[in-house]
Amino acid sequence: MKKSVFGFNFRACLVLAGSMALTGLAAAQTCTPKVPASELVKPGTLVMSTNPTLPPMQFVDSAGVLKGMRITLGDEIAKRLCLKPEYIKIEFSAMVPGLQAGRWDVINTGIFWTEERAKIMQMIQYEAQAVSISVAKGNPLKISKPEDLAGRTVGVELGGFEERKLKELDDMLKAKGLKGINIRTFDNFATAYQALRAGQTEASVSIDSTGAEYAKRGEFDRAISGLFPTPVALALKSTVLANAVVGVFNDMQKDGTYAKLMSEYGLLANKDPIKVNGPSK
């Protein structure tokens, strides 16, 4: 079976990560869950899907432990709801179908908000992200603007916002009379970056924070950043659970926990009250 560079099998996707904050576990054991069991996949548990291939937002460290801003956020939400956090590591392309099928409670992977998605899921916008273009060290192709990608082979994760925007960029270049982009899709961002490292692609697309992290590590250069800035959200199926999570966010805004977490990762905190944006049920 296919293994990712992080050492776990994405296709055998229903393997629980087992990463849970001790404080969250203790809280879940000593207080009453604030969400009815009928609204959860597992009673007393907040089951979240994540694709941990986006350091520093969500990733697996050398010891196999889930880490990152979104894992910290998920643990904090679970703790405040008196639930036990539990994670399922899976490719992004399976997340929305899995949520609709009731395999997890929350998509916690920094899913970009779109009108189409808000029609089928409860979405809580809590962050903003943009898209970066990573290239080999030294930027040998001198890529500095989107037009420089004309005729180039660019890798991206399958099924996400980044792939959609890369296709829009491809259309824009063609409309200008330039060569199109040879888009290569991968199961996850880790394998997309691995292809860039191996010289199988000439650039790779990811969110800004991940492009910046790889540049900070000295593995790649970030040639372009800040493309297509868009709100990022948690996605949920249950309206009851979504409203409870919004209550947590509002409490975190009031006590400063939310702003502190955003600041730690260089993200702009939302100063307006956080709310649910999704279909009425």
pLDDT tens figures, 165-212: 999 999 999 999 999 999 999 999 999 999 999 999 999 999 999 999
Is the pTM for the entire model greater than 0.85?
no
Separation CA 74–CA 61 (nearest Å):
17
- Domains of the chain in start order, with CATH, are 22-129+231-277 (3.40.190.10), 130-229 (3.40.190.10)
Per-residue pLDDT of the chain (281 residues; tens, 9 = 90+): 444 444 444 444 444 444 444 444 444 457 999 999 999 999 999 999 999 999 999 999 999 999 999 999 999 999 999 999 999 999 999 999 999 999 999 999 999 999 999 999 999 999 988 999 999 999 999 999 999 999 999 999 999 999 999 999 999 999 999 999 999 999 999 999 999 999 999 999 999 999 999 999 999 999 999 999 999 999 999 999 999 999 999 999 999 999 999 989 888 788 889 999 988 55
Nearest to 110 by CA among 243, 279, 244, 265: 265
41 within 8 A of 100, measured Cβ to Cβ: no
- What pairing do the DSSP bridges indicate for beta strands 45-50 and 84-89? parallel
Model confidence pLDDT, tens digit, residues 35-60: 999 999 999 999 999 999 999 999 99
The CA-atom distances, in angstroms, between 219 and each of 60, 69, 173, 205, 222 are 17, 21, 28, 15, 10
66 within 8 A of 50, measured Cβ to Cβ: yes
